[in-house]
Structure 1
C-alpha cells in the first residue's frame, strides 16, 4: 500500500503516465481498493515463461477475485451500494478475462507495479537523491518479507500434504492391523474343526497372517520414517517462522515505534501500521496452521504408539510453536495513538490501543477489556524486569496516580479489520510523585501509562496476559510548567535507545544530534520544509556554549549536557538555552510563521552581526532578529542617519516585540507604519515582501461613530502620512535604541522613556509597560477629551 500512497502523489506528466497503465484490462478502482493486498503478493516469484507456473498464477487470480468479492460485501449504506455493485462487476470481469490465461494477469500486474515504482522513483529523484535510495531499500525489505511469506506458505502446504499422507497411511495400517487380529481370532477358533479341514484352513490362515504381519512390520517402519520426516519439516518451518517473526517484530515493528516516538518531536507521522498488521496476521495464520498440524501429529501418535522419540519431539515442537505465537500476540498489543507526553492533571486526554492479530485469532468473539493505569519510572522498571510473569501487581501495590474513565472494551471494526480500544475521555485526577534527587525538578520526573488486558484464543485453549507501556509522560499541574516538561520529552524522544531500561537517556549527546532534534521540532511547528540553516545552527551553538570564538567546525565534535540544555541558566540571564529557543518557536508558531516561510526573518542573528550586516547597506535597510535578552522576543534592526549628528550612520534596534504586542497589531502592519524602513535585508523593497499581509484600510464612519486606528511610531524617524479622510492618526509609540531625546508631545500619545531599555537596548521586563492595558485604557477615553488634554 506504501507504493500506491506515493503513486497518488504524482503530478503532471508522471500522473498521466500512471493513469494510462489502467483500463478495462485492469481497472484503477481495483488497484485502489485492493492496494494493500496487491502489494503484499509475490508477483515476481511467478515465472511468466514457465507453463508449470500457471497453477500458481491461477491461485493468485482466484484470491484476487475473492478479495474483490469480500471488499464488495463490506460496503454498506447508500454511498456503498454503487461501489458494491461496481466491485462485484470487476470481480466477474477479471475472472472471465483471465481464467484461461492467468499468467497474463500476473504479467499485467507486474508491469503496473514496476511502472509505478519507476515513476515514483523518478519523481523522488527530482527532489531528493537520497529519498529514492531510501525507497529502494524499503521496497527491497518489503519484497524480502513477502518472499519469505511465500516460502512459509509453500512449506506449510507441504507439511499439510505430508500430514494427510501420514494420516491415510496410518488409517490403512490400523485396518490391516485389525485384519491381522481377525486372522488370529480365526486361527484360535480352528480347534473345533475336524483335523483334515483344520490343517488346510490353518495353513491358509497362517500364510495370510505371515503376509499381513510382514506388511505391518514394513509399514510400521515406514510410518516411523514419515513421522520423523514430518517432524524435521516442522522444525525447518518453525525456524523460518522465527526468522520472519524476528524481522517483523524486532525490526519493522521496532522501527515503527521509533518513528512514532520521533513524531512526538515533530518527525514524519508514523505510517505503515496497516502493512504491519497484514504481516502479523499472515504470521498468526501460518503459526496457527502449523500448531494445528503438530497437534494432529500428536493425536496420530497417541492413536498408534510406535517405538521411537516421536512423543518427545512433538512435545518440544508444540512447546516451541506455542512460545512463538505467545511472543507474536504479546508483541502486537501496541499503542496506536499515544497519550500526550506532557500530561496536565484534571485535563481530558485520549489514547488508542490495538491488537494487530486480533481479527485473525478471533479475539473479538469475546471482546477483552483494557485497563489503563499510570506508573512511575521505578514501577515501569520493575514491571519489565518481571516480564515473564503473568502478574500485573504493581510494585508498592498501587499505581502512581488515579486515572478516571480508565477501562475500555476492545471493538472490532469489520471494514478495516482492526481490533482496538479507544480511550476518549481519560483524565488524570491526581499524581503521586517520588522523592527527587539533587537538581531534578518535577518537570524532569517521568511516568508512563500502562495498558493491560487478558484474553483467550482457540476456545480458551491459550490464555494471554498482555501489557504495553506508553512513551514517557511528564505530569504538570499548571501551564507554566509546559516549557520545561516539553524539554524533558524532547530529550527523551530524540535520544532514547531501543530496549533501554525505563527511562534511561544519555546525560550528554553530540551537538549535531541535538541540532537534528531542534531542526525537526522547528520544521514541524512551522509546517514547512524551511528548517534551521547551518548559520542558524552555528548561532545556536554559540548561544548554548556561550562562546563565539570557537571555529564552527569544532562544534561538530562537541557534546552538550542536559544541564546545559535546560537546567543551567545562560550567562547573565534568568532562563536556559531551551527556554529561549522554545520562546522563539512559540512566537513564530503563533504570529510569524508565514514570514519565516517567506524567508523574511533572519532571526538567529546577534546584535553585532546585525550591525556588521547593515552598515554596508543603504539607509532604511532593516532586518528582523530574535532578542537575546528576552524569551519570545523579536526586534527590528535598521541603519539610518543619527538625528543628533548629521553625517553619522548608526544601526538602531527597536524594543523587542512579543506575543502580547502581536495580539494588538501584526508585524506586517507595524513595518508598514514605520516609513523609515525601506528595504528588507539585503535589498528587497518592504512592500514587495509584506504588502500581502497588510490589514486593509478601515471603513468609513458607521452610524455617526468613527473607529479609532492604532499605529506605531518611532518619533525620531517619523514623517506622518496624511490620512485619506483627513483625520488625525492615532499612534502607539515604540522607542528606538540607541537612546535619543524625545519631544514631550508627539501625535496623540507621549513616547516611552529610555529607562525601559537594558544595557543591550532590549526590554527590561520588570519596567516594561503593559502595552495591551495601555491601549485599552486609551481607547476607552473619549477622543475629544484626549485632544483637549493634549491642547492644554
Structure 2
C-alpha cells in the first residue's frame, strides 16, 4: 500500500489535516501521479536546483502520458487544468515546487504515524474497557466515507460545469456559422467533437446522479440502522441514569455523527440545486437531471426532516434544584429546571431557534390533577462555549395546582379497571416545541420529558420515587402516562440492580451480594434462588411487611436517608454490615471474643441502626446484647463518637462493652478517625467562658439482678440508683436503655 492509499483510509479528521497541506499544489495531481511522486527524491530536489529542474520536466512528461492514455473528456480536461495551475503557481521555479512536494510528503507521513498511534491506543483501551469504542470507530468510518464521497462529487460536478461551458462555447460556434471561412470540413469536425462532448456530458450526469443516489441510500441506512439505535440506546441509558444507573457520556459523540450527517444531506441538496442550474442551461430528451432530480430532492428533504426532528432531545430531565439525585419528581410551588438540546450543530441556525415549554400538552389520563406552570416558558437556544452544542435550559419553573388541593392531601384518582391510583401514580409530562428554518426548509420540532410525578407534600416523596423507579426500570416507552393503571411486575434480578444503584448513587457505595440476598429474603421469604422471583409494585411499596406497619420500600428508603445524613463515612468504609437478621447475627458472633460487635439496621424501627455485641460467653453459650436503635431524632452526636464512647453501667460500675468491630478490628482503629474531638480546656472559647467542660455520653444501665439466658436482656422497672440521680441520668442519656428489638 502506497502512502496516498494510507491517507485515503484515515479518519475524516486526519484527512482534513492532509487537505490543508494542498494550498499551492493541486490535490488532483497527487492523486493521479501518487506512485510516481512517492518514488522520486524530492528531499534532494528541494535543495539542489538542477535536480529540481529534472524532476519538474519529468512530472510534466508524466502528465502528458496520462493525458494521452485517457479517453475520458472529463479526465483529460482535469489534467489540462492541473498543468495550467502548476505553470501559473510556480512560474518557472521548479525549486519551489520541489520544496512544496517534499514538505507535503513529510507531513503526510507524520499524520499517518499520529493516526496509527491513536488507533493503537484506542485498541488498547478497548481491550481494557469495553467494545463500545470499536463500534464508535466503525460509525466514525461510515460517516467519514460518506463525507469523502460527497467531496469527490463536488469535484465531479465542478468538472461538469467546465465541460458544459466548453460544450456551450463550441455549440455557439458551430451553429452561429462563426467557423473559419465556413469550411464544411471544419464544421463537420467541430460537430463530431461537439457530439463527443455531449455524449460525455450525458454519461457524466448519469454517473453523478447514480453516485448521489447511492450516497442517499447509504445515509438512509446509516440513520435507520445505526444513528437511530445509538440515540435509542442513549435515551435508555438516560432513563436508567435517572434512577441511579451509570450515566451515559455519549451525547457529544452523537452530536458529532448527527451534525456530519446533516451537513452531508445539506451538501447533497446544494449539489442537486447546482445540477438543476446546469439542466436549465443545457437540457435534452431523456435528460437524467430532469428525470431524477425531483425524486432525489424529495428523499433528501425527508431525511433532513427526520434527522433534525430526532436530534431534538431532553438533555436534562425535569429536576428540583434541591433534589438532583431524584429527578422526575416535582413538588408544587418548588423550583425545578430542565434542558433541551439540538444534536445537529449548524452555524446557520445559531440563536434562531426559540423553544416553548408546556405542561401536559397532551392531556393525562382522565381524572388526573391539573396544573399550571409558572416561570419563563420561552427561551432562545444558545451555543454552549464548553462543547459548542445548541441548547436551552429552563430554570426557576414551578407547578401550581388548579384543583384547589391543599398541601397535605393525598388524593386518589379513579381507574375503572383497577380501582384507585394514588397521586404518586399519576404521570405527567413536559413538552418542548421549536421551529427549524434553513435553506428554504421549515419544520416543527417537538420532544417530551420522561413521565414525571407531581407531589404536594414531602411525605409523598418516598412513594413518588418508588413510582419513578418502577416506570423507568420496566419500560423504555418515552411517554406512557397510563402505565400505573396496570403496572407490570419486576423480576428480583431487575429490582436488586436498581436497589444497588440507589445506594451507590445516593450514599456512594452499593450493596454487595450478601446484603442483596438478605433484602430478597426480607421481601420474598426464603428462596433457593431469588433472581427469577417476581415482585409486584404492591409488594414493593404498598403492602406492609409481616408484623410491621410499613412497606419494604418505606423501610429501605428511611435507611438510605439515615446513611446519607448521619452514617455515610462509616458506610463508605464498610463498617456497617447493615442488613443482618437477628438469627444471622447470632451465628456470626458465636465463638467471637467478648466485646466483638457489629452494626446493623433495625428491622422494627424506621431509619434505625443498632449495635449488637458479645456480652458474655460461659458454659459454651454466647450471650448477646443490643442497644435501642438510634434514629435521626436520637443522634445527638456523630455515630462514630457514640460507638467509641458507649458505656454500660452494671451494679454501679461503668464499663466499655464494645471492643472489636466484627470480625476483629479494634474499635478505635475503625471509628477513631471519624470521631469529632470535643473542645478542651485552654482554647479561646474556654478562656472567654471559663465553664467546666462536659460531655454527653452514650450510656446504658444494666439491672443489678442476674442476667437471664435471653440474648437481649430487658431493662427492669427498677434501678440501683437513687430516684433523683436516675432521673438526671435519664434526661442526659436521652433514654438509651437496653431493650429487645
TM-score (norm 2): 0.75
**CA deviation after TM superposition for structure 1 residue 343, in Å:** 0.8
- Structure 1 residue 575, shift from structure 2 partner: 1.6
Match of 1:142 among 132, 136, 142: 136
1:666 and 2:647 matched: no
Q: Any idea what SS the aligned residue of 1:357 has?
A: coil
Q: How does 1:338-353 map to 2 (within 5 A)?
A: 338-340=317-319, 341-353=328-340
Equivalent residue for 2:382, pick from 401, 408, 411: 411
Report the counterpart of residue 568 of structure 2 in structure 1: 593
Is the 1:249–1:331 Cα contact (8 Å) retained in structure 2?
no
Contact kept? 2:699, 2:736, Cα under 8 Å: no
Q: Alpha carbons of 1:291 and 1:355: their partners in 2 closer, same or farther (altered >3 Å)?
A: same
- Deviation string 1:652-705 (CA, Å, 9 cap, x unpaired) is 222111122225453433442231122222222212211112232432354332
- Identify which of 299, 303, 314 aligns with 1:320: 299
Match of 2:53 in 1: none
Range moving further from structure 2, 321-330 or 709-718: 709-718
Distance 1:693 1:736, change over 3 A: farther
Shift in alpha-carbon separation, 1:162–1:100, aligned structure 2, 3 A: closer
2:113 to 108, 113, 124: 108
CA–CA separation in structure 1 for the residues paired with 2:205 and 2:20: 36
Aligned-residue offset at 1:490: 1.3
Pairing 1:474–2:453 present: yes
Cα deviation for residue 493 of structure 1 reads 2.3
Aligned residues of 2:373 and 2:397 also touching (Cα < 8 A) = no
**Per-residue deviation, 1:305:** 2.9
Distance apart, 1:247 and its partner CA: 5.0
Rate the CA distance shift 1:57–1:320 in 2: closer, same or farther, 3 A: closer
Corresponding residue of 1:533:
512
Q: Would the alpha carbon gap of residues 532 and 560 (structure 1) be closer, same or farther in structure 2, given more than 3 Å must change?
A: same
Correspondence list, 1:693-704, <5 A:
693-700=674-681, 701-702=686-687, 703-704=689-690
| Alpha-carbon offset, residue 313 of structure 1 | 1.8
Q: Find the counterpart in structure 2 of residue 35 from structure 1.
A: none
Query: Partners of 1:616 and 1:58 in 2: how far apart?
Result: 66
Distance 1:167 1:103 in 2: 31
CA, structure 1 residues 115+177, in 2 after alignment: closer, same or farther (shift >3 Å)? Answer: closer
* Distance (whole Å) between structure 2 residues aligned to residue 616 and residue 483 of structure 1: 40
Is 2:353–2:435's contact at 8 Å kept on the other side of the alignment?
yes
Change (3 A) 1:508 1:96: farther
Q: Which residue of 1 aligns with 2:610?
A: 635
**In structure 2, distance between residues paired with 1:106 and 1:651:** 72
Unpaired runs of 5+ residues, structure 1, are 1-46, 69-94, 125-131, 188-199, 382-394, 719-734, 763-792
Distance 2:506 2:619 in 1: 45
Change (3 A) 1:431 1:343: farther
Aligned length: 616
Whether the aligned pair in 1 keeps the contact of 2:243 and 2:501 (CA below 8 Å) is yes
1:653 aligns with 2:647: no
Structure 1 pair 561–59 and aligned structure 2 pair: CA distance change class (3 A): closer
Task: After TM superposition, give the deviation of residue 258 of structure 1 in Å.
Answer: 2.1
Q: Deviations over 1:615-635 (max 9, x none)?
A: 332332221111112221112
Pairwise mapping of residues 525-564 of structure 1 onto structure 2 (< 5 A)?
525-528=506-509, 531-545=510-524, 547-548=525-526, 550-551=527-528, 553=529, 555-564=530-539
Give the secondary structure class of the aligned counterpart of 2:257: helix
Alignment RMSD (CA, Å): 3.8
Partner SS for 1:455: strand
Deviation at residue 605 of structure 1 after TM alignment: 0.8
Deviation at 1:298, TM superposition (A): 2.3
Supply the distance in 1 between the matched residues of 2:12 and 2:230 (Cα, whole angstroms).
28
Superposed, which structure 2 residues align to 1:353-752 within 5 Å? 353-358=340-345, 360-364=346-350, 367-375=352-360, 379=363, 400-413=371-384, 416-430=387-401, 435-437=413-415, 438-458=419-439, 461-497=440-476, 501=480, 504=483, 507-528=488-509, 531-545=510-524, 547-548=525-526, 550-551=527-528, 553=529, 555-641=530-616, 649-674=622-647, 675-700=656-681, 701-702=686-687, 703-716=689-702, 737-743=713-719, 745=722, 749-751=728-730
| Residue matched to 2:309 | 330
Q: Structure 1 CA distance, aligned partners of 2:442 and 2:532? A: 52
Q: Using the alignment, how far apart are the partners of 1:120 and 1:346 within structure 2?
A: 48
In 2, are the aligned partners of 1:248 and 1:279 still within 8 Å (CA)?
no
Instruction: Report deviation, 1:352.
Output: 1.9
1:155 matches 2:149: yes
Distance 2:106 2:156 in 1: 30
Aligned-partner Cα distance in 2 for 1:656–1:333: 51
- TM-aligned CA deviation for residue 299 of structure 1: 2.6
Q: For residues 101 and 563 of structure 2, what CA distance do their matches in structure 1 show?
A: 60
1:333 and 1:354 in contact (8 A); partners too:
yes
Residue 233 (structure 2) aligns with: 255
Q: What is the CA distance between 1:561 and its match in structure 2?
A: 1.3
Equivalent of 1:175, from 169, 188, 197? 169
Partner-residue secondary structure (3-state), 1:370: strand
Distance of 1:54 and 1:574 partners within structure 2: 71
TM-score, normalised to structure 1's length?
Answer: 0.70
Native 8 Å contact 1:583 1:632 kept in 2: yes
> Alpha-carbon deviations, 1:242-262, whole Å to 9, x = none?
233335531222222222222
1:297 paired to 2:275: yes
State whether residues 373 and 399 of structure 1, in contact with CA within 8 Å, keep that contact through their aligned partners in structure 2. Answer: no
Counterparts of 2:101 and 2:158 in 1: how far apart (Å)? 33
Hey, what's the Cα distance between the residues in 2 that align with 1:98 and 1:57?
19
User: 1:666–1:55: structure 2 CA closer, same or farther, 3 Å change rule?
Assistant: closer
Q: Mapping of 1:155-304 within 5 angstroms?
A: 155-183=149-177, 219-246=197-224, 249-304=227-282
Residues 301/758 of structure 1: CA separation in 2 closer, same or farther (3 Å cut): farther
Task: Say if 2:356 and 2:377, in contact at 8 Å, map to a contact too.
Answer: yes
Label 1:499 to 1:304 Cα distance change in 2 as closer, same or farther (>3 A): farther
Looking at structure 1, the residues matched to 597 and 151 of structure 2 have their Cα atoms a distance apart, in angstroms, of 75
- Which residue is equivalent to 2:60? none
The offset of 1:641, in angstroms, is: 3.9
- CA separation of 1:380 and 1:282: change in aligned 2, threshold 3 A: farther
The whole-number CA distance in structure 2 between the counterparts of 1:98 and 1:120 is: 33
Conserved 8 A contact 1:404-1:429? no
Q: 1:595 to 1:56 in 2, by over 3 A?
A: closer
CA contact (8 A) 2:353 2:434 kept: yes
Residues 57, 106 of structure 1: 8 Å contact kept: no
Superimposed CA distance per residue, residues 105-142 of structure 1 (whole angstroms, 9 cap, x where no aligned partner): 124313532453466468x4xxxxxxx3x1xx122112
Cα distance between partner residues in 1 of 2:678 and 2:729: 25
Distance 1:263 1:105 in 2: 42
Alpha-carbon spacing, 1:315–1:740, altered in 2? closer, same or farther (3 Å): same
Q: State the secondary structure of the residue aligned to 1:465.
A: strand
- Cα drift, residue 217 of structure 1: 5.2
Q: Secondary structure at the match of 2:454?
A: strand
Q: By how many angstroms is 1:540 displaced?
A: 0.9
Task: Give the distance between the partners of 1:485 and 1:520, measured in 2 at CA.
Answer: 17
